[in-house]
Structure formats: C-alpha cells, structure tokens
Structure 1
Amino acid sequence: MIISQGSTVAITYTLSLDSGETVESSADGEPLTYTHGEEQLIFGLERVLEGKKAGDSFKVSIQPEDGYGAVIEEALIEVPLEHVPEEARQPGLILTAVGPEGQELQGMVAAIGETTATIDFNHPLAGQVLHFEGTILRVE
C-alpha cells in the first residue's frame, strides 16, 4: 500500500537544522503516526512522503516556505518591561500571552531593553531549512 490521502502512516525520523543541531528525533522512541492529507505534518514533508510505501527511507531538506514559513517581522512585538514577569526577563525563555481574541500565544523573549522587552511570536523553526531523515514503518 502506498501513502495517499487518508492513509494512516507511521514513520521514524530525525529533524536537524543547517547547523547540524538535531531538533527532534523519534529514532529511540515511539514512531510518529499521522493521517496523510489532514495537515498533521508540514506541507513539504507530507508532499515528499506521498506515494512512498512501508520500508522506504527518505532524506529531504524542506525550505521555510514549505515548513514553518519565513520569519515575520510583525510577529516581533515590543512590550513594556513591566508586562513581563521578572523571572521571565531572559532572552530565550518562553512566555504565554493572551491574543486579541482571547487565544493563548507562545512567544520567546528575544531581547530585554531598559524599558521594553521584544517577544518573538514566530514559530521557533520559522525561517529555518529543515532536514528530515527517516523510514516509513507502516501504511494502512
């Protein structure tokens, strides 16, 4: 059986960046299981897996536009420092904020100034080329 719309697929994979840093891996744990065509994976990876079968291996580089998108400058928001909890005033820490429609948004502290903090609401992998390597275990 080949991977097509509606297939349940199990894969093992390793995701790394241009720097060589491994971001995540299912090689030592549970495989990733998803339903093909239901946007449970990034577009570029799902497109590469289409038509493959159990036992096939894959190695692919996904450009930002087919992954988590480009970095959006408007998603870098400056907020008054008093709106950032004191214990979170360190670059790299993740904060949860409430969006204009009441939704929870995750942002990373990008910079701390004297009176403001810059919070980055882009996906952490936005703007990155994503390198996937893995094996298709099952297609049902």
Structure 2
Amino acid sequence: MDNGHFSTIDPDECRTLLRQAGVGRLAWAVEGRVHLLPVTCTSDGETIWYRTSPGSPLAGAVGEVVFEIDDLDDETRTGWSVVARGVMADSGRTSTPAPEPWAPGERELGRAIRITEVSGRSVAPGTERDVDVYA
C-alpha cells in the first residue's frame, strides 16, 4: 500500500509560497463559531492583504486569524499546504496593495493580516514505511 509521506516545509519557503499566492482561505472565530471563506490576496511574506466590503463577514474578522494556501495534484497525489497565523488589522481604504477580488461588487475596505507564525508541509509518493504522521 502506497500512502506517500509528509515533509515539513521550511518557514522561509512557506513565506515564499505565500508571496506567490493569489487566493487563500481565511478562518476566524466570532462568539465561538468558526468562519472560513476564500479571499483574493497578496502577500510580502510578513503581511497578507485582501479587500472586502464594510459589513461583509470578512470585514468582521478581528483578532487572531488563520490563513491557508495550498496546491494539490489529484493525478500524482502530491501537493503542499502553508498555514499562516496572525493578527487582523485594517489597512485603509486606498493604501492596501491587495489585488482586485474575483467576486463582483465594490471591495473598498483593505484588511491586513500581520503574520506571527508560518508552517507548512508537503506530501509526495512513497511507501507505507515512509509515512511521517507527525509532519
């Protein structure tokens, strides 16, 4: 049985992958409920920026948040995932370097995630004895 194996991605490589991201998923909690939504974004490896509308669920993300990007290949069963933890902040209405969102409508509110921690892992083909359940 071929389960593949996981490898830890170095934090510097995680930040490089974040700089290349165009879309990711933002997770945050409000009153004990976890929210998770995709966002069009940009990053310099230290901060992640996106735009949203005032009053939208994404505008309500405050405090500690988690952001995830990944790249998966169903055919080869390989891929990677990077998770960035950070703190949400307003980045201004016009000063944000965030790209135009995919979703239609006005998105004039810039938001910034100040990254405090990054981690990542990749999966590649291997044998069952290669599986590292702790990666």
- TM-score with structure 2 length normalisation? 0.23
Larger radius of gyration: 1
- Greater strand proportion: 2
